[in-house]
């Protein structure tokens, strides 16, 4: 009894709770980023002009004299996401099995218990492991070429760069990992629990599944669209898309044309 009293009076470390909160925070930011990122990439479904318009707005091309925007914005965005990505991965590794033996024990327990929430955590662990390598390749590509967010250049990476399979694998892993993670955050922190926790859980499960299907469809259609564009651009690999003139460049073009006509 005395030893129990002494043990219970010891001050418990708050570090595990703080690390857990940091993992939840970085996961939330990355999950919401993935939603927006896939929607932006999915604009290629509506054509090269739509994708060029979206990327131009994100790069603030309407403030640029050349109309090509500021690739430095992409550089800083990729840097921030990379930091969050690595931080989230390191925090998640605390709960990941660190040996094959532990992995087999965990896998057998998942099968034996047949518990859906445990299976979802296992899916997150596997997809997270794959994403650490596949996602790093994608981030490095964007980090090294921040000005390559362009309908043709992006399509060239998919087709001529033979990265379509990597993007397909990354798409499946990212959609599953992010949306399962956002769902588990809602369960963990009691978001949207409502008065009836059971009904709220069922609604969130249904919403999670629909969001997963939605983003998988958007992502697959986007990769197909990039593939079609890339196949038609094989003989001009590296050439930028110039099919859209931004509003900041248009007045300069009009003024130049007026000056030329006046001189004639």
Contact 107, 122 (CB under 8 A): yes
Contacts by 67-74, CB closer than 8 A, 24 or more apart: 67/245, 67/246, 67/248, 67/249, 68/147, 71/146, 71/147, 71/149, 72/146, 74/142, 74/146, 74/147, 74/149
d(CA 152, CA 158): 10
**Confidence band for 147, pLDDT divided at 50, 70 and 90:** confident
What percentage of the chain exceeds 90 in pLDDT? 52
Would you state the structure tokens that stand for residue 127, as one six-digit string?
């997809």
- How far apart, in Å, are the Cα atoms of 86 and each of 27, 46, 133, 145, 224? 11, 33, 11, 20, 29
Choose between 111 and 180: higher pLDDT.
180
Would you state the structure tokens that stand for residue 154, as one six-digit string?
């992006």
Would you state the structure tokens that stand for residue 81, as one six-digit string?
């996401």
Would you state the structure tokens that stand for residue 231, as one six-digit string?
């196949």
pLDDT tens, residue by residue, 213-246? 999 999 999 999 999 999 999 999 888 888 754 4
| Average pLDDT over the chain, rounded to an integer | 85
pLDDT tens, residue by residue, 23-71? 999 999 999 999 999 999 999 999 999 999 998 888 887 777 766 678 8
What is the gyration radius of the CA atoms in the chain, in angstroms? 24
Q: What is the mean pLDDT of residues 185-205?
A: 88
Q: What is the pLDDT of residue 183?
A: 96
Q: What is the pLDDT of residue 245?
A: 45
Q: What is the pLDDT of residue 196?
A: 84
Task: Enumerate residues 6+ apart whose C-beta is below 8 A from 162.
Answer: none
Contact 68, 175 (CB under 8 A): no
Helices (runs of H) and strands (runs of E) counted in the chain: 10, 0
What is this structure's pTM? Answer: 0.83
Contact 192, 207 (CB under 8 A): no
The three-state secondary structure class of 196 is: coil
Task: Enumerate residues 6+ apart whose C-beta is below 8 A from 152.
Answer: 48, 229, 233, 236, 239, 240, 241
């Amino acid at each position: 009894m005395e030893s129990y009293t002494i043990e219970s009076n010891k001050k418990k470390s708050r570090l595990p709770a703080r690390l857990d909160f940091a993992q939840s925070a970085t996961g939330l930011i990355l999950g919401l980023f993935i939603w927006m990122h896939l929607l932006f990439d999915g604009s290629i479904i509506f054509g090269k002009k739509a994708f060029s318009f979206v990327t131009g707005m994100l790069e603030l091309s309407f403030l640029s004299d050349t109309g090509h925007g500021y690739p430095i914005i992409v550089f800083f965005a990729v840097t921030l996401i990379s930091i969050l990505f690595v931080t989230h991965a390191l925090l998640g590794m605390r709960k990941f099995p660190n040996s094959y033996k532990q992995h087999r024990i965990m896998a057998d327990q998942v099968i034996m218990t047949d518990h859906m929430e445990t299976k979802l955590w296992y899916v997150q662990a596997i997809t997270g492991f794959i994403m650490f390598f596949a996602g790093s390749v994608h981030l490095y590509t964007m980090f090294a070429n921040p000005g390559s967010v362009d309908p043709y250049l992006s399509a060239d990476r998919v087709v001529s760069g033979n990265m379509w399979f990597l993007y397909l694998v990354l798409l499946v892993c990212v959609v599953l990992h992010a949306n399962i993670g956002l769902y588990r955050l809602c369960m963990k922190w009691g978001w949207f629990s409502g008065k009836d926790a059971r009904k709220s859980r069922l609604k969130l499960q249904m919403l999670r599944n629909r969001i997963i299907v939605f983003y998988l469809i958007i992502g697959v259609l986007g990769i197909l669209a990039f593939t079609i564009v890339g196949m038609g651009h094989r003989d001009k690999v590296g050439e930028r898309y110039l099919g859209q003139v931004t509003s900041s460049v248009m007045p300069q073009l009009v003024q130049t044309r007026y000056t030329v006509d006046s001189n004639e």
